[in-house]
Amino acid sequence: MSSKSEILIVGGGVAGLALATRLGKTLGRSGKARITLIDKSFAHVWKPMLHCFAAGTVQNENDRISFMAQASTHNFEFWPGEVVSIDRDKREVLLSPLHASDGSKVLDSRTMTYDAIVLSIGSRANDFGTPGVLENCLFIDNLVEANAFNEKFRMEILKSFADNSELDIAIVGGGATGTQLAAELHKSLEIVDPVSLHAFDKAPPKLSITLLQSGARILPAFPESVSIAAKQELERIGVNVRTSARVAAADATGFTLKDGTHVPATLRVWAAGVKAPEVTKTYGGLSLSRSGQINVKPNLCSVDDDRIFAMGDCSYIVDDPLPATAQVARQQAHHLAQHLPAWLESGKEVPSCIFHNKGAIVALGNYNGWAALPGGRVMGGGMLHGLSARLGHIMLYRQHQIELFGLVRGLASIFADFVETIIRPSVRLD
């Protein structure tokens, strides 16, 4: 290459940050390309942990990775902002103005040029146009939303202490997020129990959790045996699991089902469905799926533009759709990190990305867990209550840390987390 190529990576989730880190080590370090990561926030969190942040069972202060710090040590640049449009003819992106928490403007709109752009902006829960959901429900699709839910959860717990009343929570969506959130919320109050006896001189209020799933079973992406076992475990700890319960509307008092039943809930969480952020509609007229995901070829290149790639939850492989999981996103990031340098330097086409399914894990707090392995084999449950599966879920997170930090810093981060669990409360109380 005669001059530096400009590679923009939009979105610092599992895939985006992994790709920026890897390309920074190769193209960035050698000076062959300038790698720029763009994200609306200033820090990365592992999305499969959001339900723990929402319940307060994990202290997310230590689980955030600063984009600026990561960029400074891995030869890429970071700019905060949201890409609100793409001019494919000029090869420019427009970033929205950046505002401080008090509403004051920090940065005006900015344009950035690119030779290649990789879109990795993740996904959101899909409300399917259900009346009242956007106005009356909480979401946990990112750290800001997870923290907002945790704040409301803690305040409602405090109110229930004062009023000696029951706290009703209803969660729509029986996939991994909704199912694991139900277990973590129960775990959170279980941890608070001995604390409350000293702080309030009374036992914690009763927590009523209802999990609503429109389909015939929860965890539909897992084998039926896991769905049955997970439902039994949730019911054992007191969660009311209702399947074939399609929500018709939401209001300030709860959910109304298609059959006319009303499910009362002080806190209402929507964790159903998957769709891309609305902003994909402004990305230069790129072809989108029904859920707003960017249509791509098997090599992750847009079907409309050879200089635009998309990976992770915001992408849709037209010929072979894949689930919106961290495992898929991570493998796609590794694929582009391996093949984009040759594409930039010599025009060699990026080959098709072949997904290798390594199974899936669902962990219900400290209560139980299961791993669904390729070939239909299931591990978990039994006398050890899915200990291997629950440890496996933790190890996936630790693997993610080591991949981003490197072995030495990754192990140091794990050790620091271990020390924090000894000196800090095991649930967020303030």
Q: What is the pLDDT of residues 363-411, one digit of tens each?
A: 998 889 998 988 888 887 765 566 767 777 777 777 777 888 777 777 7
Residue 192's pLDDT is 60
Sign of CA dihedral 322, 323, 326, 327: negative
Q: How many whole angstroms separate alpha carbon 337 and alpha carbon 24? A: 10
Partner residues linked to 250 by β-bridges: 255
SS3 state at 350: coil
Residue-wise pLDDT for 291-311, tens only, equals 999 999 999 999 999 999 999
pLDDT of amino acid 426: 53
Q: What is the mean pLDDT of the chain?
A: 89
Q: Which domains does the chain have, with CATH numbers?
A: 5-123+276-346 (3.50.50.60), 127-273 (3.50.50.100), 358-424 (no CATH)
What's the pLDDT score for residue 61? 60
Q: What distance in Å separates the CA atoms of residue 321 and residue 428, rounded to the nearest whole number? A: 38
φ, ψ of residue 264 in degrees (nearest 5): -70, 140
DSSP string, 304-328: S-TTEEE-GGGEEETTS-----HHH
For 400, the 3-state DSSP assignment is helix
134-184 pLDDT tens trace: 999 999 999 889 999 999 998 998 888 888 888 999 999 999 999 999 999
What pLDDT, on the 0 to 100 scale, is given for residue 425?
52
Query: For position 194, what pLDDT does the model report?
Result: 47
pLDDT value at residue 243 = 97
Query: Which pLDDT tens digit goes with each residue over 313-343?
Result: 999 999 999 999 999 999 999 999 999 999 9
pTM of the model: 0.87
Beta carbons of 167 and 157 less than 8 angstroms apart: yes
How many Cβ atoms are within 10 Å of 400's Cβ, its own excluded?
21
**Residue in 173, 243, 182 with CA at minimum distance from that of residue 207:** 182
Phi/psi of residue 78, nearest 5 degrees: -130, 135
**Residue 387: predicted pLDDT:** 76
Neighbouring residues of 391: CB distance < 8 A, sequence distance ≥ 6? none
| pLDDT tens digit sequence for 229-269 | 999 999 999 999 999 999 999 999 999 999 999 999 999 99
Listed residue (314, 349, 307, 342) closest to 328, CA to CA: 314
Please give the residue that has the higher pLDDT: either 381 or 26. Answer: 26
pLDDT of residue 337: 97
